[in-house]
């Protein structure tokens, strides 16, 4: 869950302390009163802030009084814990209050047998909608869409549409676009609500419809949907099947959640951690991080083996041991800057086969220019420090070599990983560190061996 300013204003550290104190002293009525005035994000924030025993106690107190929207705001790890405290009837009561897409995401967290129990407790029409949503892959537009929308016949006029909206009882709370379908249910376009309200009652809907609106197939991925909303500044987007029949609509608030989750996921994976680390158990967190720490250890050993080949040079010139971390560190930082830009560009669809070479050449030029600038600065500092122009020239040349290597590695590694179907956000930095360490030590110590001994 993202903690925006409103939630932080609503749920203060003092409130958390009051709730924990009231729980500890058995003042359950006070706890319920404190939670009752909070919004769904506020309740979710409280459940995420307290320790697991207090969280279990809060869920036990609230049960069916827990705002169903709260469940949609929870971190996955916390949601699993909360659902463990609720029985099938409690979860069914919550699902009954949610949109089909949110209910499907909620039930997707349950074991198969418990999911069947919850579905059996729901009305037949709601059960059918949720089962239909669950039939789509978790990462698809079909799972993201909601089935509550305003769809009208292409033979209607404005007056009929207005009368329909006044009389219908199953319309969504918020309406931005009205979708027009033909007798076979195929999407013909949409009419913005504002345009509909400004038109005269006798005007045929087809006279004011936008026929060329974007739509997405139910099988499209969430990333594809997010790109479409971002590129075309959409508020809503219809979802269609293979025959072009209207199935549902995706609203911008759901896409904002997708974009937020994408950004969080990319950030976490760049650090080799999971989005669930904050609320995971100690053992699970150790397991999640251990794999990449192990790979980092292996790459560090490789760098150490390179250093080991120059033990004689280091023994004769102690200054090499003092200066060589600078070269590797500069390369690592420069490479991280490049790989961050590359990974983001790949995730946003901005880096493609069309502009890849131009991007690589630009980053190579940036690496070379930065290398020259910092070679002059560091080389001059070494000459002043050690009174040895040859040592200054060696570290300057090694700096240029490593920043050029970092620029190439920072572009080619994520592009290569993406091409082979490996997530570049997860593993780029591991390979990058190996390249910059090995090239940095090899260039510096190799040049020192050639020109100083």
CATH of the domain at 120: 1.25.60.10
Task: Let me know whether 317 and 368 are in one domain.
Answer: yes
Asked which of 232, 263, 294 is the last residue of a domain, the reply is: 263
Query: Residue 187's domain spans which residues?
Result: 151-263
Task: Let me know whether 251 and 299 are in one domain.
Answer: no
Rounded to 5 degrees, φ, ψ at 133 are -65, -40
- Contacts of residue 390, defined as CB under 8 A and 6 or more positions apart, other chains included, come to 451, 452
In whole angstroms, how far apart are CA 245 and each of 21, 31, 51, 182, 332? 56, 49, 48, 9, 52
Residue 232 lies in a domain: yes
Question: How many independent structural domains does the chain possess?
Answer: 3
Residue 270 lies in a domain: no
User: Which segments of the chain have a pLDDT < 70?
Assistant: 1-9, 64, 262-282, 284-293, 295-296, 299, 316, 426
* Alpha carbon distance 378, 182 (integer Å): 72
Task: Let me know whether 239 and 179 are in one domain.
Answer: yes
CATH number of the domain where residue 403 is located: 1.10.357.20
pLDDT tens per residue across span 69-84: 999 888 878 888 899 8
pLDDT tens per residue across span 172-214: 877 889 999 999 999 999 999 889 989 999 999 999 999 989 9
Distance of CA 377 to the CA centre of its chain: 39
Residue 275 lies in a domain: no
Q: DSSP labels for 290-333?
A: HHHHHHHHHHHHHHHHHHHTTHHHHHH-THHHHHHHHHHHHHHH
Interaxial angle between packed helices 319-347 and 252-270, expressed in degrees from 0 to 180 and rounded to the nearest 10: 160
Residue 271 lies in a domain: no
Q: Which strand ranges, in their side-by-side order, compose the sheet holding 151-153?
A: 151-153, 177-181, 187-192
Task: Let me know whether 162 and 132 are in one domain.
Answer: no
Helix ranges (H only) for 50-123 are: 52-62, 68-73, 76-85, 88-97, 100-107, 112-120
Task: Let me know whether 124 and 227 are in one domain.
Answer: no
pTM: 0.61
Phi-psi region of 275 (alpha: psi -120 to 50; beta: other; left: phi over 0): alpha
Residue 143 lies in a domain: no
């Amino acid at each position: 869950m993202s903690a925006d300013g409103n939630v932080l204003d609503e749920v203060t550290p003092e409130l958390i302390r009051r709730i924990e104190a009231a729980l500890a002293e058995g003042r359950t009525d006070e706890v319920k009163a404190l939670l009752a005035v909070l919004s769904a994000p506020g309740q979710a924030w409280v459940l995420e802030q307290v320790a697991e025993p207090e969280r279990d106690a809060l869920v036990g107190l609230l049960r069916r009084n827990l705002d169903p929207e709260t469940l949609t705001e929870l971190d996955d790890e916390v949601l699993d814990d909360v659902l463990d405290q609720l029985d099938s009837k409690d979860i069914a009561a919550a699902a009954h209050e949610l949109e089909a897409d949110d209910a499907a995401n909620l039930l997707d967290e349950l074991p198969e047998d418990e999911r069947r129990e919850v579905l059996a407790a729901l009305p037949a029409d709601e059960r059918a909608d949720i089962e239909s949503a669950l039939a789509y892959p978790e990462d698809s537009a079909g799972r993201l869409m909601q089935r509550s929308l305003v769809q009208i016949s292409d033979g209607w006029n404005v007056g009929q549409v207005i009368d329909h909206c006044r009389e219908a009882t199953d319309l969504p709370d918020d309406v931005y676009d009205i979708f027009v379908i033909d007798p076979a249910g195929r999407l013909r376009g949409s009419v913005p609500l504002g345009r509909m309200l400004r038109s005269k009652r006798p005007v045929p809907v087809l006279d004011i419809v936008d026929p060329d609106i974007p739509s997405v197939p139910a099988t499209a991925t969430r990333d594809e949907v997010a790109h479409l909303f971002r590129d075309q500044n959409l508020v809503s987007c219809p979802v269609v099947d293979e025959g072009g029949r209207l199935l549902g609509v995706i609203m911008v608030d759901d896409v904002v959640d997708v974009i937020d989750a994408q950004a969080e996921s990319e950030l976490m994976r760049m650090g080799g951690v999971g989005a669930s680390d904050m609320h995971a158990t100690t053992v699970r967190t150790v397991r999640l991080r251990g794999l990449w720490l192990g790979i980092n250890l292996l790459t560090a050993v490789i760098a150490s083996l390179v250093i080991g080949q120059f033990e004689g040079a280091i023994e004769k010139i102690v200054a090499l041991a003092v200066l060589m971390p600078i070269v590797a560190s500069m390369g690592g930082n420069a490479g991280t800057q490049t790989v961050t830009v590359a990974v983001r560009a790949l995730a946003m669809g901005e880096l493609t086969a069309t502009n890849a070479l131009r991007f690589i050449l630009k980053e190579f030029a940036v690496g070379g220019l930065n290398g020259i600038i910092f070679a002059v600065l560091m080389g001059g500092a070494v000459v002043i420090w050690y009174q040895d122009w040859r040592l200054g020239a060696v570290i300057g040349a090694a700096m240029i070599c490593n920043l050029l290597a970092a620029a190439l590695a920072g572009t080619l590694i994520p592009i290569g990983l993406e091409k082979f179907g490996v997530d570049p956000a997860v593993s780029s930095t591991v390979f990058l560190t190996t390249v910059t360490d090995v090239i940095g030590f090899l260039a510096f110590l190799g040049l020192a061996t050639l020109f100083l001994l």
